[in-house]
Amino acid sequence: MEGLVQVDEMKQFVVELRRSAVTMTGPELKIFADLRKFRPASPDVVEVVRDVQEFAKTMGVRRMATVLESEVLALHMSRLARETGADKFIRRFTDEQEAREWLATGESLRKSRRLP
């Protein structure tokens, strides 16, 4: 998702994600989320992300790497992750390559700034 995202768009994304995800199986489910161009139109949009995090948790996601530019958005996402318990498998990054390395290995090979 990119650009100014409205609540209805985000809710539709969650519906489509749930529909697609039921076909995914395996012990090593990993998600890469590029949210560098994601601009929530309101705080309510960020709250819908809670549904995504809770769903990922129920699906048994092992790692979820989120690439963000906005530190404010990163703080909101961190709060949601703590509240949902998804903070155990979600990490936020500013560098795409570092996020992909962490998804693949579980370790960050670089020392770039990781968001909260």
- Structure token pair of residue 5: 């995202």
Which ranges of 1-116 does DSSP label H, i.e. alpha helix? 7-21, 43-59, 71-84, 96-105
Domain assignment of residue 116, yes or no = no
In this structure, is residue 111 part of a structural domain?
no
Q: Which residues contact 60 (CB under 8 A, 6 or more apart)?
A: 27, 29
CATH number for the domain harbouring residue 85: 3.30.750
Residue 86 exposed, middle or buried by CB count within 10 Å (0-12, 13-18, 19+): buried
Task: Report the domain count for the chain.
Answer: 1
Question: What tens digit of pLDDT does each residue of 31-44 get?
Answer: 999 999 988 888 89
Q: Quick check: is 115 in a domain?
A: no
**How confident is residue 24, by pLDDT bands cut at 50, 70 and 90?**
confident
User: Does a structural domain hold residue 112?
Assistant: no
Q: List beta partners, residue 39.
A: 4
In a domain, 50, yes or no: yes
- Residue 16 belongs to a domain: yes
Please tell me the predicted confidence (pLDDT) of residue 76.
Answer: 87
Is 12 domain-assigned?
A: yes
Q: How far apart are CA 46 and CA 38, in angstroms?
A: 10
Range of the domain at 55: 3-20+28-105
Could you read off the pLDDT of 68-114 as tens digits, one per residue? 998 888 888 899 999 999 999 999 999 999 999 999 998 866 655 55
